[in-house]
Each structure stands twice: as C-alpha cells, then as structure tokens.
C-alpha cells in the first residue's frame, strides 16, 4: 500500500550542525557489509574507474604481445590459435570492458555533483550495474584464462563462430558473457536517463546542463535501444551452438548476414556511445583552462544529439563488402558522410574556444587539446572508409586498424586520461604531479603517433588485419617494427600516468575545492565531496554557477549556501524534466547487499548455462529469486513520498 507523507521542505543555511547531521545519515557503514552494500554513486564511480583501468592494462598487455608477434616477419611467439584469442580478447576488453565502463565510471561519479543532487535516480540499480559489469568481466576473462577466450574477433562473425568451425567453449564464453554484460549496460542506461530528467537542481533547466550530461544521456538512450539487438544476436548464436537451431546457418536456411545486421545496428551506435561522453568531458573541461565558456554551447549540445540520431542510420558502412545492393550502399555511404557535419561543429567549437580564450597549459589541457588533432585524423580516415569504392580497397587491412585506434585511443583514451588529471583533485583532494604529467603526455602522444600513423601505410600496402604473421619481402617489415616500437613507447606513457596516479594519491599537494577555477557545481563542494554531496540543494540560475560574478550574466542568483536542507532521512529532490521545478522529495534507498548477491546468483546461472548443468542453472535461478526478494522487500521508509509545497520560496 502506498503511503504518502506530505511535508514542506525545510529551507536553511549551510552550517556545521546540518553537515554533521547529513553526514550521519549518508555515510556508508564501515566493514564488509558497507563495502558490499554501498549505493553511494561516488564509491561506485570510483570502483568502475579502477576496474576499467585494470582492464585497460590487461587489454594493453595483450596488445603488446600482439605487437611483439608482428614486430618482424615470420615470428612464432604465438600460435595462430593463440593469436586469434589474443586479438579477439584485446578488442573485446578494450571496447566492452574498458572504453564504455570507464565513461560510466566518470559519469556515475560526476553526474549528481554536476547536477546538484544527492545521488543517481536509482542508487541500488547503480550498484547493481557495477557488480554485473565486474561479474561479466570475470566471466569473460575466466574463458581466456582457461584458453577459451573469444577467438573470432570482437565482432564475432558467423559462420566462423558456429559450432562446426569453432567447437570449443570460446564462443560460449563470449556469447553468454556479452548477454550478461548487456544487463549492466541496460540498467545503467535507464538509470542515467531518469537521473538526467528528474534529479537536476532547481533552476537547472534543460538549456543549462553541461555538455557531458548530453554526451552520456544520448549514449544511454542509444544503448537502451541497441543493446537488446546484440544480446539477441548472441542469444541466437548460443541457441545455434547448443541446440542446433539455424538462425545463422545457411545449411538449415539461416542467414549469416542477419548476424552482421544485428551486430552492426548495435556496433555502430556503440562507437558513439564510447566517444560522445568523452567529447562531453572535453567540452566541459577545455573551457575551464581557456577561462571562458564553450563557444556555441547550444550548438554543441544539438550536435551531440544529432550525431547520435544519425548514428542509427549508418551501420551498413561496416558491411560494404558483403554484396548488398548498390542503392543501399549509396544511401549508407551518404549518411556516413553527413555525420561528419555535426562532428565538425563540435571540433570548431573547441578550436574557437581555445582561440578566443586565454589558455592555461596544464596537463589536462594538453590531453583535451590533443584530442582535436587526433579526432581530425580519425575523422579523415573515417570519411575515406565511408566512401564505398575506397572502402572496398581498404576493408580488412591495417588501414582500418589505424582508423579505429585513432578514433578509440584519440577520442576515448586521451580525453579519459585528461579527465583523470582534471577531476582527480575533486575525487581525492590531492593534485596530480604536473611535471610527471607532461612527461606522460608527450610520451603517450609521441608513442601513439609513431605507432599508429604508419599503420595507415601498412594498410595501403595491403597488409590484412587479423593475420598472425607475414613473410619478409612484402614491404611491411620496417613499418611493423616502427609500429611495435611506437606501441611500447605509448605503453610507457600509460605507465607514467598510472604511476602518477599512485604517487599523487600518496603525496600529492592538497587541492582545495576548486583548483582549476571551474564553473560547474561539483567545484563548489569540498574535495573529496562529503557523502551527501551538497549540504543544501543548490538553486541554479545560469550555465556557469561559479562564474556568474566574472561573466556578469545579468544578476548572480545561483544560491549555494541557502536552500532545501532535506535532512529528515536519506532524501533527495526530484524536479520537472524541462525546467527543473521542484516536484517532490523522495526517500532514497539505504545501502543493501542484494545487488551484490543478485550478481553472484546470476554468475552461477551463467556458468550453469555454459556447462549446461541443469542443477546449477536451477540453483542460480533460485538464488536470483531470493536476492530479488531481498531487494524488493517492502520497507516503509522507501514508500514515503512528499511533494514540496511549490508556493514556498526556495531561498530568501
Ligand atoms: C598499446 C595500445 C594498443 C595497441 C598496440 C593495439 C594494437 C592492436 C593491433 C595490432 C590490432 C590488430 C590485431 C589484428 O588485426 O591482427 C588491434 C585490434 C584492435 N584494437 Fe587495439 N591496440 C591498442 C589499444 C587499443 C585500445 C585502447 C582500444 C579501444 C579502446 C583498442 C581497440 C581495438 C579493437 C576494437 C581491435 C579490433 C580487434 C578485432 O579485429 O576484432 N585497441 N589493436
Ligand atoms: Cu560505424
């Protein structure tokens, strides 16, 4: 039964007593139970970030092994079978276990702070999405460790992935692991969407939200639509393999091409899902160092949304070589080229912002600014492969490997490292070492270009991707050696970055609340932020709450020290989707270990399915049921919903 308790929100000033009270309410309990049960978005965000960086390191080690194998002609460091597993696991790790989760990590940590709220809309689902990410990563890697990792590339083409050609457990680990991981992505995406529309601070109308919110919001909307397609594809593949159905097997009337459609209608938008949030980080971070607002803020927001929408219409550019009718190729080629227009809007906005600002060259600035160059290089090679006749020459050569790495490393890894330099002080209260930062940046930047620029040439000279070795005399040997040396230099750059993180964590200079002079709400709270984020819910009156004085935007009306206190329990404020008018006070959930237990039960279930052991499947299913029961067990405090009295002024 729904029980509502109506009350007016208390309006008050930020003070020590209020803080102590909120602290007691919001703090995570100590010990194992608190650790497994926490629903604090900041802790979950940091776990996401650390886990994703560990996986980046694993994927990087695999890449270096690949590069050693390819350093010269006729090398035999890996067998062909091992090579298949290495590059497939490398791709899978980088795309699914690093690039996407790292952005979820930053967004989980930052969103409520950027939005002026106490937590995400569904904190327990947030915890659940992290645990499922971890569980599926362990599941996928357990296959690799027993020599049964994915071995048909990250896009896993049938019929190679069918049982006839691939009898081991490899593809079963991959299929089931991807379905498992899809649950995490979907839950996370739904959470982001509701969070963006319901939990913004009063006054943060839709035209005042930071670009990073737009980036993750559009990415989440896309994920919600396309992840089911790929989960379905992997499920059908699993059925083909385990029960002899013929979804993708031509012998039984199935369609191998169906796999490619299902995969790429997911795969292409996914690429935007791992770059748009990163572009958002740059759009929000760069202006801080340029000491001026982003040029064309609204245009960049619109460009972000248009890229995502157009992104749904271009998946066939991954299938130009499959023999589809010419007319559809023209259509998808045109659509792929049009997508560069909104992307260019963002690039020009960044250039104009640097041009018109007074840039302070910090390490974070270098990372953000370098993205512009790398994005342009990746964009140009993308423009080339979007053209059908050119693609027919280049597809499945190292040119494509060069292209994907400029896009993925240039537009995901560089901004993410920059974002770490930028927000590390907020997360830890310590500054990172700038001198080491510069060394790391230039090593990474040089290593990356030395390693990956020549791959364009190797590709133009005809070296196919996914070959485990090549004979001498093809004209590829020197280029490959340079690429390998560059890759190792790049890896040294990443190591310097990791080293800097650990060193600064131990002995970094204290950061203070706003070391860079940032303009958005997260910089208004202490570093690291208190468990409740904001003592009083801020009331926002412009796009740059912390710059209002300097920018002289009408009158400064943003209130950071007086507002709703919401200290009657674990409470948050929900506001209206467009104008962010206060709507109701909601009780947010207490810490709970059910999301963790549910994940453990799901792992049992998935291992049961892998081994086709019905008793294990049954146990896992029962476990899921029990954990869900625990999760959903009615608690009175969660049923309390109190709409605030709208006539009450929010601050005096
Ligand atoms: C030290 C850094 C890296 C090096 C040296 C490297 C090297 C390589 C090489 C040589 C291949 C081609 C394997 C082949 O086709 O035989 C490859 C494939 C790939 N890499 Fe990387 N890579 C690195 C980092 C990354 C990162 C950061 C990402 C993504 C965020 C990434 C995503 C991919 C993908 C998606 C593939 C395609 C795998 C497939 O064909 O199925 N790589 N990488
Ligand atoms: Cu694409």
135 closest CA partner among 94, 177, 95: 177
Please identify which residue in the block is written with the tokens 């937590």.
119
Smallest Cα–Cα separation from 569: which of 635, 640, 649, 631? Answer: 640
Backbone angles phi, psi at 376, to 5 degrees: -65, -45
pTM: 0.94
88 lines ligand 1 (CB under 6 A): yes
* C-beta 100 within 6 A of ligand 1: no
What ligand 1 atom has the least distance to the C-alpha of 412? Answer: 30
Q: What is the pLDDT of residues 79-124, one digit of tens each?
A: 999 999 999 999 999 999 999 999 999 999 999 999 999 999 999 9
Residue nearest to atom 43 of ligand 1 (CA): 63
pLDDT at 323 (0 to 100): 84
- What does the pLDDT look like over 130-182, one tens digit per residue? 999 999 999 999 999 998 999 999 999 988 999 999 999 999 999 999 999 99
Mutate to test the pocket of ligand 1, among 60, 401, 470, 486 (most ligand atoms within 8 A of CB): 401
- Ranking 227-231, 283-287, 363-367, 648-652 by mean pLDDT, the lowest is 648-652
Q: Minimum mean pLDDT among 53-57, 300-304, 362-366, 383-387: which range?
A: 383-387
Contacts of 641 (CB under 8 A, 6+ apart): 2, 4, 5, 584, 585, 586, 587
Which residues are bridge partners to 559 per DSSP?
539
Q: Is the confidence at residue 4, as pLDDT, over 90?
A: no
Residue whose CA lies nearest to ligand 1 atom number 9: 63
pLDDT at residue 6 greater than cutoff 70: no
Q: Check if 405 has its Cβ closer than 6 Å to any atom of ligand 1.
A: yes
**Cis status of the peptide bond prior to 528, with omega within 30 of 0:** yes
Q: Tell me which H or E stretch contains 171.
A: helix 170-198
Please give the pLDDT value at position 397: 95
Is the distance from the beta carbon of residue 94 to the nearest atom of ligand 1 less than 6 Å?
yes
Residues 340/341/345/350 CA torsion (nearest 10 deg): 20
Is the per-residue pLDDT at 557 higher than 90? Answer: no
pLDDT (tens digit, 9 = 90+) per residue, 348-381?
999 999 999 999 999 999 999 999 999 999 989 9
Q: Alpha-carbon torsion 400, 405, 407, 410, what sign?
A: negative
How far is it between the farthest Cα atoms of the chain?
81
Residue 518's pLDDT is: 94
Beta-ladder partners of 586 = 572, 641
Residue-level pLDDT at 652: 32
Q: Looking at ligand 1, which atom is closest to the CA of residue 466? A: 16
Q: What is the pLDDT of residues 560-589, one digit of tens each?
A: 999 999 998 899 999 999 999 998 898 888
Per-residue model confidence as pLDDT tens digits over 39-92: 999 999 999 999 999 999 999 999 999 999 999 999 999 999 999 999 999 999
| Number of alpha carbons in the 13 Å side-chain half-sphere of residue 296 | 18
Does the Cβ of 409 fall within 6 Å of ligand 1? yes
Ligand 1 atom with least separation from CA of 483? 5
Question: Which token pair is 370?
Answer: 């370098």
Eight-class DSSP state of 318: G
Q: Is the CB of 413 under 6 A from ligand 1?
A: yes
Ligand 2 midpoint to CA 267 (Å) = 7
Closest by CA to 523, choosing from 494, 574, 558, 573, is 558
The proportion of the chain whose per-residue pLDDT surpasses 90, expressed as a percent, equals 82
pLDDT surpasses 60 at 650:
no
| Nearest to 267, CA basis, from 214, 311, 330, 201 | 311
pLDDT at 538: 95
Distance 593 CA to ligand 1 centre (A): 37
Q: How many A from CA of 265 to the centre of ligand 1?
A: 21
- Cα 304 to averaged position of ligand 1 atoms, centre (Å): 26
Structure confidence at residue 103 (pLDDT): 97
> What distance in angstroms lies between residue 84's CA and the mean position of ligand 1's atoms?
12
What is the average pLDDT value for the chain, to the nearest integer? 92
Q: Which two tokens stand for residue 628?
A: 């869900």
Q: What is the pLDDT of residue 556?
A: 66
Q: How many CA atoms lie within 13 A of 575 on its CB side?
A: 27
C-alpha 196/C-alpha 213 separation (Å) is 7
| Closest ligand to Cα 492 | 1
Span 600-606, mean pLDDT?
97
Tell how far the Cα of 51 is from the centroid of ligand 1, in angstroms. 19
How many A from CA of 174 to the centre of ligand 1?
Answer: 18
- Residue 401 in contact with ligand 1 by CB distance below 6 A: yes
The CB of 577 under 6 Å from ligand 1? The reply is no
Helix (H) or strand (E) holding 416: helix 414-428
- What is the reported pLDDT for 404? 95
**% of the chain residues with pLDDT over 70:** 96
User: What's the burial of 170, exposed, middle or buried (CB within 10 Å: 0-12/13-18/19+)?
Assistant: buried
404 lines ligand 1 (CB under 6 A): yes
pLDDT for res 1: 32
Please tell me if the CB atom of residue 396 comes closer than 6 angstroms to any atom of ligand 1: no
CA of 270 to the centre of ligand 2 (A): 9
Q: What is the mean pLDDT of residues 397-424?
A: 96
Count of residues in the chain: 652
What's the rounded Cα separation, in Å, for the pair 397 and 84? Answer: 16
- Residue 31, sorted as left (phi over 0), alpha (psi -120 to 50) or beta, turns out to be left
The pLDDT value given to residue 637: 58
Distances (CA, A) of 197 to 158, 247, 386, 579: 40, 39, 35, 10
Nearest to 530 by CA among 495, 563, 567, 494: 567
- Whole-number Å distance, alpha carbon 417 to ligand 1 midpoint, is 18
Alpha carbon 280 to chain centroid distance?
A: 11
């Amino acid at each position: 039964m729904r029980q509502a308790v109506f009350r007016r929100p208390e309006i008050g000033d930020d003070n020590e007593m209020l803080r102590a009270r909120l602290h007691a309410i919001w703090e995570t309990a100590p010990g194992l139970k608190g650790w497994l049960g926490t629903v604090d978005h900041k802790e979950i965000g940091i776990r996401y970030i650390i886990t994703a960086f560990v996986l980046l390191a694993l994927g990087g080690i695999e890449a270096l092994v690949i590069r050693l194998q390819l350093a010269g002609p006729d090398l035999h460091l890996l067998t062909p079978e091992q090579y298949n597993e290495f590059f497939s696991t490398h791709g899978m790790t980088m795309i699914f276990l690093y690039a996407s989760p790292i952005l979820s990590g930053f967004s989980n940590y930052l969103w409520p702070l950027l939005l002026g709220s106490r937590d995400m809309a569904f904190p327990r689902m947030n915890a659940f999405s992290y645990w499922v990410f971890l569980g599926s990563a362990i599941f996928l890697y357990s296959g690799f460790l027993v020599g049964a990792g994915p071995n048909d590339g990250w896009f896993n083409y049938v019929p190679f992935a069918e049982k006839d050609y691939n009898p081991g457990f490899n593809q079963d680990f991959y299929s089931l692991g991807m379905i498992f991981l899809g649950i995490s992505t979907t839950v996370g995406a739904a959470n982001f969407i509701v969070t963006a529309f319901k939990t913004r601070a009063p006054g943060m109308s839709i035209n005042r939200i930071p670009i990073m919110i737009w980036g993750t919001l559009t990415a989440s909307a896309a994920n919600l639509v396309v992840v089911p397609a790929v989960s379905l594809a992997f499920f059908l593949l699993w059925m083909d393999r385990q029960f002899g159905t013929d979804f993708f097997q031509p012998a039984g009337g199935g369609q191998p091409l169906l796999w490619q459609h299902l995969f790429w209608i997911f795969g292409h938008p996914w690429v935007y899902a791992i770059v748009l949030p990163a572009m958002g980080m740059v759009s929000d971070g760069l202006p801080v160092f340029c000491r001026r607002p982003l040029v064309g803020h609204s245009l960049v927001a619109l460009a972000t949304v248009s890229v995502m929408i157009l992104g749904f219409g271009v998946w066939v550019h991954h299938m130009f070589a499959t023999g589809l009718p010419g007319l559809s190729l023209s259509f998808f080629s045109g659509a792929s080229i049009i997508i560069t227009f909104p992307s260019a809007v963002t690039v020009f906005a960044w250039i104009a912002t640097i041009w018109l600002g007074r840039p302070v060259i910090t390490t974070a600035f270098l990372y953000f600014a370098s993205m512009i160059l790398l994005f342009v290089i990746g964009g140009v090679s993308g423009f080339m492969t979007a053209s059908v006749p050119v693609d027919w020459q280049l597809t499945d050569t190292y040119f494509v490997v060069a292209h994907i790495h400029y896009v993925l490393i240039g537009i995901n890894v560089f901004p993410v490292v920059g974002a770490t330099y930028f927000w590390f002080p907020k997360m830890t209260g310590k500054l990172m070492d700038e001198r080491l930062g510069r060394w790391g940046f230039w090593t990474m930047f040089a290593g990356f270009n030395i390693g990956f620029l020549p791959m364009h040439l190797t590709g133009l000279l005809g070296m196919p991707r996914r070959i485990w070795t090549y004979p001498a005399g093809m004209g590829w040997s020197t280029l490959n050696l340079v690429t390998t040396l560059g890759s190792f230099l790049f890896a040294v750059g990443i190591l310097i970055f990791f080293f800097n993180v650990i060193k600064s964590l131990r002995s970094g200079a204290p950061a203070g609340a706003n070391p860079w002079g940032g303009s958005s709400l997260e910089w208004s709270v202490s570093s690291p932020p208190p468990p409740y984020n904001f003592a009083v819910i801020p009331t926002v009156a412009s796009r740059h709450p912390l710059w209002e004085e300097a920018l002289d935007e009408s009158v400064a009306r943003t209130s950071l020290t007086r507002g709703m206190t919401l200290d009657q329990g674990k409470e948050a404020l929900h506001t209206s989707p467009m104008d962010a008018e206060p709507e109701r006070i909601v009780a947010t959930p207490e810490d709970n270990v059910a999301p963790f237990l549910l994940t453990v039960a799901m792992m049992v279930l998935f291992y049961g399915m892998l081994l086709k052991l019905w008793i294990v499947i049954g146990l896992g299913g029962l476990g899921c049921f029990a954990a869900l029961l625990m999760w959903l067990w009615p608690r009175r405090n969660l049923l309390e919903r109190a709409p605030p009295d709208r006539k009450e002024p929010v601050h005096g």
